[in-house]
Amino acid sequence: MSVIADGALKARIETLQAASRAQEAETIGYFVGRAKKGDLTWDGLDDDANRFMADKMVALEPIKAEFCHMLCRALRATRVVEVGTSFGVSTLYLADAVRANGGGVVIGTEYEPAKAAQARANFAAAGVSGLIDLREGDLRETLKVIEGPVDFVLMDIWTEMARPALELVAPHLRPGAVIVADNTDQFREAYRHFFAFVEDPRNGLKTMTLPFDNGLELVVKI
């Protein structure tokens, strides 16, 4: 049974997830090819990789998105931050959870203008625009102001931006808040700066890597 009770929203999400899956083979092929040439680093994408990814959805897998939805419901989350919105597929899950909790806001972040425009169109079509504050641009600027305590954070972005985002959001985490970061097993080395922050006892965080495909990090503000 889906965590999404709204049938129309569920159908829209399934269509978007299918479109994302249809791009996976091309995306994997590109990065495998670059890796074989030895000209790829996970510490940051170059201009060619950024151009390639400009129209790629790279949506969070449905099982992970549903897990985030359930965490938001359990936390009674009303203020959520999503680091890396892309076309807004996972944002729809988060907005639906916030709506079910009685309302609130999902603060989204997206650097690419074309992706932000498509995400806004998806939000409008799903009828959840009023629950989403999509901030377009460099997250090191757009996340400088966060009003009120944060209940939940989804981090699904290139690893080099994970720590800068965490440093900005962490001061706003309420006790018991949860951060979920994707692919932390697959890109463990690339996430090293993120883990250095998480594992620093001064930051009051505890973490566990969950056994989803490629790893899913569950970080709790103590």
Contact present, 122 and 93 (Cβ < 8 Å) = no
Contact present, 4 and 96 (Cβ < 8 Å) = yes
Break the chain into its structural domains and give their ranges.
62-221
Cβ neighbour number for residue 93 with a 10 Å cutoff: 27
Task: List pLDDT tens digits, range 21-80.
Answer: 999 999 999 988 988 888 877 666 788 888 898 899 999 999 999 999 999 999 999 999
Question: pLDDT value at position 42?
Answer: 64
Question: Nearest-CA neighbor of 122 among 95, 84, 151, 152?
Answer: 95
CATH class of this structure's domain 62-221: alpha beta
What is the rounded average pLDDT of the residues 2-13? 94
Q: What is the share, in percent, of the chain residues with pLDDT greater than 90?
A: 88
